[in-house]
């Protein structure tokens, strides 16, 4: 059992059924999350100002978001958080696990197909890929600055 499972047990200890569990999540976000926090919804930056359960079990928790003075309600499962506190991140991870969604990838966990390598800029033939000419230098020889 990891920390997210322990947090889920703590939040849902006396909650039976989806409505009670969603209400318990709402209380947990109200008491522990640091609001507002930055997030993205469909590639658009928003600020999440509140997390609520509006009574619809199928929709789940809603994030009340602000952008350019307008307020929107979107499903909490549909947003990608920006920089959030550790407690807010743990609550979001617990909620995603409860929904059956995959966890958010951390920046250092992003999937890669192959490791990053430096791009080669010169070959062993001595031909420079740069438009200027470079002379050859041999160790032990010194070129005079006066010519």
**Total structural domains within the chain:** 1
- Provide the residue range defining the domain that includes 43: 3-100
Predicted TM-score (pTM) of this structure: 0.70
pLDDT score recorded for residue 145: 56
- Residue 129 belongs to a domain: no
In a domain, 49, yes or no: yes
Per-residue pLDDT of the chain (147 residues; tens, 9 = 90+): 799 999 999 999 999 999 999 999 999 999 999 999 999 999 999 999 999 999 999 999 999 999 999 999 999 999 999 999 999 999 999 999 999 999 876 555 445 555 555 566 655 655 555 555 555 655 665 655 555
pLDDT at position 27 = 97
Q: Which helix (H) or strand (E) holds 54?
A: none
User: How far is it, in rounded angstroms, from Cα 19 to Cα 129?
Assistant: 66
CA–CA gap between residue 36 and residue 23 (Å, rounded): 20
Asked whether residue 56 is assigned to any structural domain, the reply reads: yes
Q: How far is 31 from 16, CA to CA, in rounded Å?
A: 20
82: its two tokens: 């920006």
For residue 40, what pLDDT is reported? 95
24 domain-assigned? yes
Residue 143 belongs to some domain of the structure: no
For residues 135 and 34, give the distance between their C-alpha atoms in angstroms, rounded to a whole number.
60
Residue 131, in any domain of the structure: no
Q: Check residue 1 and give its pLDDT.
A: 79
The dihedral sign for the CA sequence 78, 84, 86, 88: negative
Please check whether residue 116 lies inside any domain of the structure. Answer: no
* Residue 122, domain member (yes or no): no
């Amino acid at each position: 059992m990891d920390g997210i499972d322990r947090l889920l047990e703590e939040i849902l200890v006396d909650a039976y059924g989806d409505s009670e569990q969603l209400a318990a999540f709402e209380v947990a976000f109200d008491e522990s999350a640091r609001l507002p926090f930055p997030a993205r919804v469909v590639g658009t930056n928003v600020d999440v100002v509140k997390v609520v359960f509006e009574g619809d079990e199928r929709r789940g928790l809603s994030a009340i978001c602000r952008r350019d003075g307008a307020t929107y309600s979107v499903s909490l499962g549909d947003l990608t958080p920006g920089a959030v506190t550790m407690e807010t991140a743990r609550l979001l991870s617990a909620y995603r696990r409860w929904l059956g969604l995959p966890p958010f990838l951390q920046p250092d966990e992003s999937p890669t197909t192959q490791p990053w390598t430096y791009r080669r800029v010169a070959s062993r033939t001595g031909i420079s890929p740069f438009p200027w000419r470079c002379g050859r230098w041999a160790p032990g020889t010194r070129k005079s600055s006066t010519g």
